Structure 1
Amino acid sequence: MKRSTLLLLVYILTGWNIQAASREERGLESVTDTIINYFDNLGNSVSTKAESRSYQYIVSIGNDSEKLFNIVSYYADTDSMKSFGYSRDSTASGIGWKYIGEFTTYYPNGRLKSLETFDIHALPIDSSYYYYPTGKLKMLVTQVESGQSPFVGIPMTKPYYLLYLDSIGNYLLKRGNGFIRFDNEDNTYIEGELKDNKREGLWKGWNMGAFYEESYVNDSLVNGKRFRANGEVVSYDFDTKELIATPPIKIEKFVKTIEKTIDVPQHIIEQTKGESISVSFIIDKEGRVGHFKYNEDVHYKIRIEITKAIENLGKWNPGRVQGEPVAISYTMSVRL
């Protein structure tokens, strides 16, 4: 499946947020009203089609109040279609493209890889179909309601795995019971047993350059182990599987120190809209901060002062997933 929940989390309650990268970070190229992205085989941005494995066209459609984007991806070597769909504005959500309606993906040989459907809130609905490169059905998933979002009050859904088959058509799972494997485009995967649509027993996978194992009881993680290439084994449990990045001092003091450090003339402050400035930045695997991002209407002197104040406070404790440090983005508000 295309989405992985293992690498990054959106920390809504604490203000943590994974931001869509800026155009400069992604190496985008504009052609009239069309934006072109280029990606390597791991999904990382590259600058030209010649060094890419796939590329993406993004075209704005509709008016400003109901703007949509038609997003079409292609394989670079054959120019055959890789995916097709429509999305809301990624900058509005902060977590990337939010597809609505039908979204389809294709293998390099032109065969259908997946067909998914999303509602106006970009939540998966109805049934989703996944196929092998031969055209045989791989997996059938339907969505069932799981309550309402505590943040926006819209119905939430969760996947119910109806069928999973091997490449020659043998059933490995039926109605939420049996073996299943989730593959991602970056060659990461996780596989194990479902019981009544819940993870049970030992699950195995590969990501971030290492194998790992996780034990589940009734869909709850009991413990996990990562087997690093150097032979080291990293253990974790439910509480330590995913840890957010933390600043070098307590967050309340961190924010107050930044606000006290900023030195901007009053007439520039008066030009700003609102009482606070929103700034996003990335904390890398070593805890260094960078890739600062502000709204376009923020004065450049304010940007310089906030950026300098945050950088001067030093390294963070990096976020971790399954014991491994990961880059994560943080969004905060600074009052002037």
Structure 2
Amino acid sequence: MKKIVLSLVLIGLFTTAHAQRQNVYFLKNNGREVKERDSADFIRIIQEPDSGDVNFRLLEYYPDGAKKTIGYTSKVMPVVYEGPYVSYSKEGKKIAALNYKNGHLDGTAYYFFGNGILEKQINYSLSTSLNSSSANQMGPRSWIKESVIYIADSTGIVMVKDGNGHFIKKEYKKDGEVITEEGDYKDGLKSGEWGLKSSAGNYWYKEQFEQGKMLSGESYKDGKNFSYTQMESPPEFMGGQSAFSAYLRRSMKYPTDAISRGIRGKVILSFVVDQNGRVQDIKVDRSVYPSIDQEAMRVIRESPRWSPGIQHGVPVRVKYNIPINFDF
């Protein structure tokens, strides 16, 4: 009986979507589109803009028909979030109430625990000053600055109020290990010493902050010590983006069967750059044509080693997504 009810709920959603000239996508949690509804982690419906509006309405549902996301986007695919955005847990609890501008968080954001208690309140604003610890990069000279207003634990005990207070968080692992992070906020920004340590003793870091900017850090992992001045950095092809583009142009061979059929398009791949800079776990997230997909994977598989991603001074595995365009 539950399967029948579920099917009726989803059929109702999709029937309404088509009547209102909407697009329906079946997606995995990593954003990869799949053809079958039964293979999807969630369903995305994008409605055409109402009269006088320029943004599409975005609705997402869990497989059982429960709402997942309500928001707006200025583009159909890929989405570029605009305006209010609300997300829900599978149990129907609100977990985030955000606002976006040109695909980036903007204004005050609220995040909630699964029990409905407010976890944190953060203000996001566009900044033109580089601040690596309290901002996310938006463009060459623009940064999204984060200012913490409020933080509480899952029982409602307030740790940070009006941007000031001492934050402490403990994460309990299945094997009994406890990860503890703590530090102070002053006027919404990290201040003084911040640290994280494992109860197992195999990993820790300490970082010094002033007005939200990290000045220096030191860490320890599996018997090795690290010193650093940048909290994290992504993996990078040796020589940078221009060298990577040159490598693709030099190495790619357009499949003859795709040329003869006039097939062109953009393959989207995902892969992992491990701690040693090796490329692993290559997957096609968006396919164009079998021989084109295989050629894209071959070029990435044969790529020289990358500079690995770094977090708190330690080389780490990082998942990467890239589009590779085939045209002639």
For normalisation by structure 2, the TM-score amounts to 0.60
Note the aligned Cα RMSD (angstroms).
4.9
Confirm or deny: 8 A CA contact 1:221 1:238 kept in the other structure. Answer: yes
Residue 70 of structure 1 is matched in structure 2 by 59
The one-letter amino acid paired with 1:22 is R
Cα 1:270–1:132 change in 2 (3 A) is closer
Q: 185-194 or 170-179: which moved more?
A: 185-194
By how many angstroms is 1:205 displaced? 3.2
CA distance in 1, matches of 2:244, 2:105: 38
CA distance in 2, matches of 1:273, 1:312: 22
Q: How does 1:48-197 map to 2 (within 5 A)?
A: 57-63=42-48, 67-73=56-62, 84-86=69-71, 88=73, 91-92=77-78, 98=81, 101-105=84-88, 114-119=95-100, 121-125=102-106, 127-130=108-111, 137-144=118-125, 146=127, 151=139, 158-165=145-152, 171-181=158-168, 190-197=181-188
Residue 134 of structure 2 is matched in structure 1 by none
Cα 1:143–1:321 change in 2 (3 A) is closer
Aligned residues: 276
Query: Where do 5+ consecutive residues of structure 1 fail to align?
Result: 1-18, 38-56
By how many angstroms is 1:288 displaced? 2.1
CA distance in 2, matches of 1:142, 1:68: 24
Query: Where do 5+ consecutive residues of structure 2 fail to align?
Result: 1-28, 130-136
CA distance in 2, matches of 1:162, 1:59: 32
Residue 3 of structure 1 is matched in structure 2 by none
Residue 40 of structure 1 is matched in structure 2 by none
Percent of aligned positions with the same letter in both sequences? 14
The one-letter amino acid paired with 2:159 is L
For normalisation by structure 1, the TM-score amounts to 0.59
Query: Which of 30, 34, 46 is the equivalent residue of 2:37?
Result: 30
What per-residue deviation string (whole Å, max 9, x for no partner) do you get for residues 38-88 of structure 1? Answer: xxxxxxxxxxxxxxxxxxx324141499654422459xxxx8979543464
The one-letter amino acid paired with 2:292 is I
Q: 124-133 or 182-191: which moved more?
A: 182-191
Confirm or deny: 8 A CA contact 2:87 2:97 kept in the other structure. Answer: yes
Q: How does 1:1-336 map to 2 (within 5 A)?
A: 20-23=30-33, 30-31=37-38, 36-37=40-41, 57-63=42-48, 67-73=56-62, 84-86=69-71, 88=73, 91-92=77-78, 98=81, 101-105=84-88, 114-119=95-100, 121-125=102-106, 127-130=108-111, 137-144=118-125, 146=127, 151=139, 158-165=145-152, 171-181=158-168, 190-205=181-196, 210-228=203-221, 230=222, 232-239=223-230, 241-247=231-237, 252=242, 255-264=245-254, 265=256, 268=259, 271-272=262-263, 280-285=269-274, 287-293=278-284, 296=287, 298-322=288-312, 323-331=314-322, 333=324
| 3-state SS of paired residue (2:259) | helix
The one-letter amino acid paired with 1:245 is P
CA distance in 2, matches of 1:86, 1:219: 30
CA distance in 2, matches of 1:114, 1:324: 32
